[in-house]
């Protein structure tokens, strides 16, 4: 454990210095964007350019290097790399480091769009595997050891395996066994751990991927550990992948003008996790357990707990994810998501057909948890027994389209816009996703089927945010002149 905060300390000392700036940034620590707002006057003081005393993110040799070494130690990794382009960049950099053009990478189909974009950038060919599905809650969980073993047997030339640990809904796979299996086959394990930055800091959480031997992982400290949005970290266990490979890939795409506000927030968040994490998370977990017990007694509602662990799609479970099933109230998850924001001023993380997901983090208190459970209880009382349960056939929702053309080839192919209603049978030329969380409904190179179009129409009718290239939800980009 370290009580040091090298970047933050250097930044604070630099802020106090009376330097005459003829370098960038242009505000020179004296020109706030809003001179009537003291917030901006304070912010510009902490927004310097890279200097010798503040180090350089692309080639760290001073305080940033020290901060990265402390971060690596905190996460049981050999190396750590501070990122200011978010975990989206970290995921893309992992894939670019682990795979080249035409290399096979095994991954579940419910990956974030950043992984799809990583495939497009690298030119790797995805081998999609199916996660385990919880049809009662209508969510995808982790993948099994047996699925990975079978896929490696079918694709012995695979270069890497890409995993999500934990999933958005808190499910963790048997990562230790999967890593050992992959390493026997010389396959690197890359882990999207965006929702698992807190895992190493309390024994009641699933183990973090670095402690279990994964090669690379990306952790979003801003999501669950308290750093500023867009700050993230990539972690490495050297072996199949070397430190110099990772740094070279990062420097290919990451900005050379890093925000020291983001870097300092990573420094402070790591310090807080190491010195206070156990205490903070012990208190939060106690509140979450009581809240889940209360929610489970509310008519029409149910909630996932560690009881869901089944050794298959859920080998371990992250209790900071509060997954509430609401369809017995006669409402979809999207209905309740909107209702909570509109009527109770509560912002949930995301919704799915039957569930709403709430993420409890390092900043939560007994009061915030109590407000959430109170709102859910009020909704239960208002709607239970008043409307028929909301039921749709979930089986079809998890049947994914087939890849016809590799994603990179499809991305760079000539395309045309077609009305969505006329696109069945065409090959998709863009990623279309429901946000949040940003898991693609269809990706470049996949065949557009009647089921995909049915799902697309369903999400539109639920007033979901649909993201595509053209921002025209009645049209879709397909391959062809």
Q: Can you give the pLDDT at residue 2?
A: 63
**What is the count of structural domains for the chain?**
3
Domain-embedded: residue 292: yes
**Strand 125-129 versus strand 171-172 pairing type:** unpaired
Domain-embedded: residue 299: yes
Residue ending a domain, choose from 358, 383, 408: 383
* Domain shared by 426 and 465, yes or no: yes
Q: Can you give the pLDDT at residue 38?
A: 78
Q: Burial code of 132-171, b = ≥16 C-beta within 10 A, e = fewer?
A: bbbeebbbbbbbbbebbeebbeebeebbbbbbbbbbbbbb
Q: Can you give the pLDDT at residue 16?
A: 83
* Domain shared by 346 and 257, yes or no: no
Rounded to whole angstroms, the Cα distance separating 394 from 349 reads 21
- Report yes or no: 233 and 83 within 8 Å, Cβ to Cβ: yes
Query: Could you list the residue range(s) of the whole structural domain that residue 441 is in?
Result: 399-479
CATH code, domain carrying 150? 3.40.640.10
Q: Can you give the pLDDT at residue 268?
A: 96
- Written as one string, the DSSP assignment of 321-362 is EEEEE-GGGT--HHHHHHHHHHHH----SEE-SSEEEEE--T
Domain-embedded: residue 388: no
Domain-embedded: residue 335: yes
Domain-embedded: residue 84: yes
* Domain shared by 166 and 36, yes or no: yes
Q: Can you give the pLDDT at residue 398?
A: 75
* Domain shared by 371 and 268, yes or no: no
Domain-embedded: residue 391: no
* Domain shared by 89 and 205, yes or no: yes
Domain-embedded: residue 159: yes
* Domain shared by 253 and 368, yes or no: no
> Which pTM was predicted?
0.93
Q: Can you give the pLDDT at residue 274?
A: 96
Domain-embedded: residue 247: yes
* Domain shared by 376 and 458, yes or no: no
* Domain shared by 291 and 423, yes or no: no
- Within 191-259, residue ranges assigned H as helices are 221-224, 243-253
Rounded to whole angstroms, the Cα distance separating 261 from 272 reads 16
* Domain shared by 227 and 346, yes or no: no
* Domain shared by 84 and 183, yes or no: yes
CATH code, domain carrying 365? 3.90.1150.150
Rounded to whole angstroms, the Cα distance separating 287 from 462 reads 32
* Domain shared by 197 and 130, yes or no: yes
Q: Can you give the pLDDT at residue 83?
A: 98
Residue ending a domain, choose from 225, 241, 272: 272
Residue ending a domain, choose from 272, 301, 335: 272
* Domain shared by 196 and 92, yes or no: yes
pLDDT, block means (10 residues), the chain with 481 residues = 86 83 77 76 85 94 97 98 96 98 95 94 95 92 97 98 96 97 98 96 97 98 94 98 97 94 96 95 97 97 94 93 98 96 96 95 93 98 95 79 92 94 94 81 93 90 84 89 70
């Amino acid at each position: 454990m370290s009580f040091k905060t090298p970047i933050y300390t250097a930044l604070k000392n630099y802020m106090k210095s009376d330097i005459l700036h003829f370098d960038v940034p242009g505000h020179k620590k004296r020109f706030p964007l809003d001179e009537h707002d003291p917030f901006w006057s304070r912010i510009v003081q902490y927004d310097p350019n890279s200097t010798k005393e503040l180090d350089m993110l692309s080639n760290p040799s001073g305080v940033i290097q020290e901060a990265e070494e402390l971060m690596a130690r905190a996460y049981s990794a050999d190396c750590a790399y501070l990122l200011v382009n978010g975990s989206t960049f970290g995921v893309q950099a992992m894939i670019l480091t682990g795979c080249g053009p035409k290399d096979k990478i095994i991954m579940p189909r419910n990956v974030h769009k950043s992984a799809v974009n990583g495939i497009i950038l690298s030119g790797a060919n995805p081998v999609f595997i199916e996660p385990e599905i919880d049809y009662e809650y209508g969510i995808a969980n982790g993948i099994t050891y047996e699925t990975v073993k079978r896929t490696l047997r079918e694709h012995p030339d695979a270069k890497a395996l890409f995993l999500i640990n934990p999933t958005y809904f808190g499910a963790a796979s048997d990562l230790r066994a999967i890593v050992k299996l992959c390493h026997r086959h010389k396959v690197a394990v890359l882990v999207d751990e965006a929702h698992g930055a807190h895992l190493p800091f309390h024994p009641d959480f699933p183990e973090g991927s670095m402690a279990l031997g994964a090669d690379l992982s990306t952790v979003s400290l801003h999501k669950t550990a308290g750093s500023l949005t867009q700050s993230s970290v990539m972690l490495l266990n050297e072996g199949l992948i070397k430190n110099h490979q990772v740094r070279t890939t990062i420097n290919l795409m990451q900005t050379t003008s890093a925000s020291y506000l983001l870097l300092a927030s990573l420094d402070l968040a790591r310090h807080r996790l190491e010195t206070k994490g156990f205490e903070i998370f012990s208190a939060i977990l106690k509140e979450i357990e009581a809240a889940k017990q209360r929610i489970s007694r509310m008519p029409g509602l149910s909630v996932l707990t560690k009881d869901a662990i089944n050794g298959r799609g859920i080998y371990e479970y992250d209790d900071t994810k509060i997954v509430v099933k609401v369809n017995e109230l006669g409402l979809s998850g999207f209905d309740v998501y909107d209702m909570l924001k509109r009527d109770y001023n509560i912002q949930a993380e995301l919704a799915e057909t039957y569930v709403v997901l709430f993420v409890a983090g390092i900043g939560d208190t007994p009061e915030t948890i109590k407000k959430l459970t109170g709102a859910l209880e009020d909704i239960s009382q208002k709607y239970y027994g008043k409307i028929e349960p909301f039921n749709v056939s979930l089986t079809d929702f998890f049947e994914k389209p087939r890849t016809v053309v590799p994603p990179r080839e499809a991305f760079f192919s000539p395309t045309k816009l077609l009305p969505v209603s006329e696109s069945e049978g065409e090959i998709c030329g863009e990623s279309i996703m429901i946000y949040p969380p940003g898991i693609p409904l269809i990706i470049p190179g996949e065949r557009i089927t009647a089921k995909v179009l049915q799902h697309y129409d369903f999400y539109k009718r639920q007033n979901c945010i649909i993201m595509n290239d053209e921002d025209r939800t009645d049209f879709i980009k397909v391959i062809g002149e």
